[in-house]
């Protein structure tokens, strides 16, 4: 036999031996975990399912964990409290069956930690949630809040504010940190791992896009027509409303609401003291009542917010609530009722002319004083019964043929057949409980002359 033949024969023998060894090891790993396999940070490499089950049970049964913050111990708990349960033998056999037994050489030489570490031991979600809630309560609420990076407008330009990395914790963040620590078999857990982290940073592409978009939206033309006024919303104002939410462009409803509230107060009439020109040409100051209008801010806010984000020019009259809104800017109009408490007299103005003039009896001072202000005939009723209390506390029930309530406290205009006289100082001793008592011979004419929502000016 030549040397060459002997070398070939020897080589084949080695190969055969290696093949047998490889096959044996492969067969071995059909019933054993691959080398350095970890479950929940616990080494079970080379063990059978039965051996691994015992190892896990021993290691996990009463493992103690400590949660610390700045070297201070906040809480301690056992694996049992966290709902840790070792895998059963059956489950472990299923894990072995899923591993690639043929890869054992590579697994030994170059397996990474993630390759070697299987999923954590079984955790009871309800137990872990209860534990996380307890730790959050122990940690307390006096913590720095975490904030995402956001869009800001200052000095006539948009900038991106960096996120705030706070110390706040949540049930979800603590739960995740606990699960991760248990997975890695780490008995000491730093609470900082559970701090809520920003989800949007200053480098977010969406936030940079939002900034560019905001610069364009701020130039939008938005104009309001309110009575005979035209109000253009300044670009700086629009820009101040623009912000970001989770990295995307958004409009601040609270700032828009504040703007509309200011606009309503400036142009609306519901809260305003009026300088009223009386029947004799003199001007009297009359406080606000229930008559008047304002911008319905709650309804207009989402409309304006949508228009801002749409980036399209808009001209509109805002949603109005109340009575007395006129496009020409007039307030009371030419049809209204005028009542002078000092003169104890009432005038009905119809289309600019006084059509009824009559003495009346208003409320008896002080308890029944008729309120001053601009009110509204918000209802008209026939044959009503007025009920209330007399000065001595007794109840009264007064039937009337004509009833026109004008405020929200029970004051109105009605006939008063029990009154023997009207005008003068009679009201000082025999005044009403606040209503405007009107002669029965006149009240039907008033009732017929005034439509619903006729203003009533009392001074």
> Residues 27, 28, 34, 36: what is their CA dihedral angle, to the nearest 10 degrees?
-150
Active-site residue set: 414, 435
What per-residue confidence (pLDDT) applies to 80? Answer: 84
**Domain spanning 336-458: CATH superfamily:** L,D-transpeptidase catalytic domain-like (2.40.440.10)
Contacts of 19-22 with C-beta under 8 Å, sequence gap 24+, read 22/105
Say if domain 205-274+288-322 classifies as CATH 3.10.20.800.
Answer: yes
pLDDT means per 10 residues, the chain with 459 residues, are 52 51 74 82 87 84 89 92 84 88 59 40 84 96 95 94 96 95 88 96 94 96 97 97 93 97 97 96 96 98 97 96 93 95 98 97 94 97 92 89 96 97 97 97 97 97
d(Cα 345, Cα 357) in Å, to the nearest integer?
7
Is residue 115 exposed (0-12), middle (13-18) or buried (19+ Cβ within 10 Å)? middle
Residue 411 Cα distances to 161, 269, 324, angstroms: 56, 21, 20
What is the residue extent of each domain of the chain? 3-61+81-121, 205-274+288-322, 336-458
Contacts of 350-358 with C-beta under 8 Å, sequence gap 24+, read 350/449, 350/450, 354/279, 355/449, 356/442, 356/445, 356/446, 356/449, 358/422, 358/438, 358/439, 358/442, 358/446
What per-residue confidence (pLDDT) applies to 259? Answer: 98
What per-residue confidence (pLDDT) applies to 183? Answer: 81
d(Cα 242, Cα 253) in Å, to the nearest integer?
10
What per-residue confidence (pLDDT) applies to 194? Answer: 97
d(Cα 164, Cα 120) in Å, to the nearest integer?
32
H/E element, 5: helix 3-28
What per-residue confidence (pLDDT) applies to 114? Answer: 38
Quote the pTM value.
0.68
Residue 134 Cα distances to 126, 189, 196, 246, 383, angstroms: 12, 15, 17, 29, 67
Q: End-to-end CA distance of the chain, in Å?
A: 136
């Amino acid at each position: 036999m030549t040397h060459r033949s002997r070398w070939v024969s020897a080589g084949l023998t080695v190969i055969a031996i290696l093949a047998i060894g490889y096959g044996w090891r492969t067969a071995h790993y059909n019933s054993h975990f691959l080398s350095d396999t970890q479950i929940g940070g616990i080494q079970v490499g080379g063990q059978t399912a039965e051996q691994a089950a015992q190892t896990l049970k021993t290691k996990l049964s009463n493992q103690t964990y400590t949660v610390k913050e700045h070297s201070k111990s906040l809480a301690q708990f056992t694996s049992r409290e966290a709902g840790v349960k070792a895998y059963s033998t059956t489950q472990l056999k299923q894990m072995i069956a899923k591993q690639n037994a043929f890869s054992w050489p590579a697994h030994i030489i170059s397996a990474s930690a993630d390759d070697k570490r299987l999923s954590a031991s079984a955790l009871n979600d309800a137990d872990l949630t209860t534990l996380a809630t307890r730790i959050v309560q122990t940690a307390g609420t006096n913590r720095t809040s975490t904030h995402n990076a956001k869009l800001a407008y200052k000095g006539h330009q948009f900038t991106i504010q960096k996120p705030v990395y706070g110390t706040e914790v949540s049930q979800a963040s603590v739960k995740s940190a606990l699960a991760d620590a248990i997975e890695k078999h780490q008995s000491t857990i730093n609470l900082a791992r559970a701090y809520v982290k920003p989800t949007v940073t200053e480098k977010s592409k969406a936030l940079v896009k939002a900034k560019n978009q905001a610069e364009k939206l701020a130039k939008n033309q938005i104009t309001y027509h309110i009575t005979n006024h035209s109000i253009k919303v300044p670009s700086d104002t629009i820009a101040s409303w623009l912000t970001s939410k989770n990295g995307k462009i958004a409009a601040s409803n609270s700032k828009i609401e504040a703007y509309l509230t200011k606009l309503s107060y400036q142009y609306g009439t519901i809260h305003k003291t009026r300088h009223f020109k009386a029947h004799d040409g003199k001007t009297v100051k009359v406080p606000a009542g229930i008559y008047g209008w304002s911008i319905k801010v709650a309804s207009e806010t989402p409309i304006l917010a949508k228009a801002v984000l749409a980036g399209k020019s808009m001209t509109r009259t805002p949603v109005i609530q109340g009575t007395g809104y006129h496009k020409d800017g007039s307030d009371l109009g030419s049809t209204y009722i005028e009542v002078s408490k000092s003169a104890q007299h009432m005038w009905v103005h119809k289309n600019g002319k006084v059509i009824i003039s009559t003495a009346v009896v208003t409320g008896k001072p002080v308890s029944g004083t008729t309120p001053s202000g601009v009110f509204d005939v918000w209802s008209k009723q026939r044959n009503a019964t007025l009920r209330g209390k007399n000065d001595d506390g007794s109840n009264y029930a007064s039937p009337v043929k004509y009833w026109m309530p004008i405020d929200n406290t029970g004051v109105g205009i009605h006939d008063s057949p029990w009154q023997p006289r009207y005008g003068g100082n009679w009201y000082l001793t025999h005044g009403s409980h606040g209503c405007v008592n009107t002669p029965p011979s006149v009240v039907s004419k008033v009732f017929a002359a005034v439509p619903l929502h006729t203003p009533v000016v009392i001074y």
